[in-house]
Amino acid sequence: MSKRDYYEILGVQKSATDDELKKAYRRLAMKHHPDRNPDDDSSHVKFKEAKEAYEILKDPSKRSAYDQFGHAGVDASARGPGGPGGFHGDVGDILGDIFGDIFGGGRRGGQQRQRGADLRFSLDLDLEDAVRGLTREIKVPTLGKCKTCDGSGAKDGKKETCGTCGGVGQVRMQQGIFSVQQTCPACQGAGQRISNPCPACHGQGRVRETRTLSVKIPAGVDTGDRIRLSGEGEAGMSGAPCGDLYVEVRVKQHGIFERDGDELYCEVPIIFTLAVLGGELEIPTLDGQVKLKIPKETQTGRMFRLKGKGMKSVRSHRTGDLMCRVVVETPVKLTREQKDLLKQFEHSYTNDNTVHNPKAHSWLKGVREFFDRMTS
């Protein structure tokens, strides 16, 4: 079966929803179904590819394993017990799989080259960068393929068959009635030995290096989103394939906006007179400043919604809203004249019968009723 990327096979993004995966699979299944293409071998292959990809990605646990480790994370579960044909072989073979894992390998390890380790890189972004997306260069310390020996580990490029395991990579140990397999201690499961190791990598096939990579960050990413760079992880031993690199995004805290998914929130201080008399106020947004109309008699905590002024989702491409919470700010450092004017203002409305402070009036009424119940 093809080892192309499952998302590429279905023609969807890594962020695709379950519905998007299902639609993509149905489209390919109808197009390449063997009943509709009886004489087209390439369609049969594409149908099997699509089916395998959908079976993995529709399962949350398998999809998570694939996103983290690629095909290596799902190959074992995809094979099922004993491989495609179920269990076969003697008791020694089965126990060899079990005990082999404990002793550092198993029957499957013979001469199979283990891919390099996956790497994780944390990338800090400003909110402005997360909004519009960008391409960023990163420097990643890793184990890369040795250029001197082209990853083989041998100075002359030649390897010899291991005399201990005969090139199998496994040795069998007899323990009573049980025959147990374990990784060959002489070649560490490779099945081959290097008689003339490369001086640059000491026979490992890889060396430490710092790799400079260009990462394309899509617009709308949020903290916790990950971008996979296939084949940019550590190189495998003795020329084995490289692992993957996962770039994990962390969006820094912003001085004005607070993000919650696709919604943005900001706190807007307004002066006392604007809250009383109403007016307009310029509000910063991701697209520039806009005017916000403040109705008269606006109270602290009132929330105003600016439609479509939030973040654009990297998954659904929906644009969220900007929620502005106004806070009436108490003036400070007043002059004597200003204080006298405020006292006159207070005197002007406390001596009439109009309720100018409904919340305070309601609260005081509740306090009085509370004390009346306590003393009755």
CATH class label, 1-82: mainly alpha
CA distance 178 to 183: 17
Directed axis angle between helix 41-57 and helix 18-32, to 10°?
A: 160
Q: What is the DSSP letter of 237?
A: G
Cβ atoms of 232 and 242 within 8 Å: the answer is yes
Sequence spans of domains, the chain: 1-82, 258-332, 344-376
**Cβ-count burial of 343 within 10 angstroms (0-12 exposed, 13-18 middle, 19+ buried)?**
exposed
Cβ atoms of 180 and 99 within 8 Å: the answer is yes
Question: What kind of fold does domain 258-332 have according to CATH?
Answer: HSP40/DNAj peptide-binding domain (2.60.260)
Q: What pLDDT tens digit does each residue of the chain (376 aa) get? A: 346 888 889 998 888 888 888 889 888 888 888 777 777 888 888 888 888 888 889 888 888 878 877 777 676 444 444 333 333 333 333 333 434 333 444 434 444 567 889 999 999 999 999 998 999 999 999 999 999 888 888 888 788 888 888 888 888 776 666 677 788 887 777 778 888 889 998 888 889 999 999 999 999 999 999 999 999 999 988 778 899 999 999 999 999 999 998 999 999 999 999 999 999 999 999 889 999 999 999 999 999 999 999 998 888 888 999 999 999 999 999 999 999 998 988 888 777 677 777 787 788 888 888 888 888 7
* Residues sharing a CB contact under 8 Å with residue 198, sequence separation 6 or more, in sequence order: 146, 148, 149, 152, 153, 154, 155, 205
CA distance 133 to 139: 19
Q: What predicted TM-score, i.e. pTM, was given to this entire model?
A: 0.57
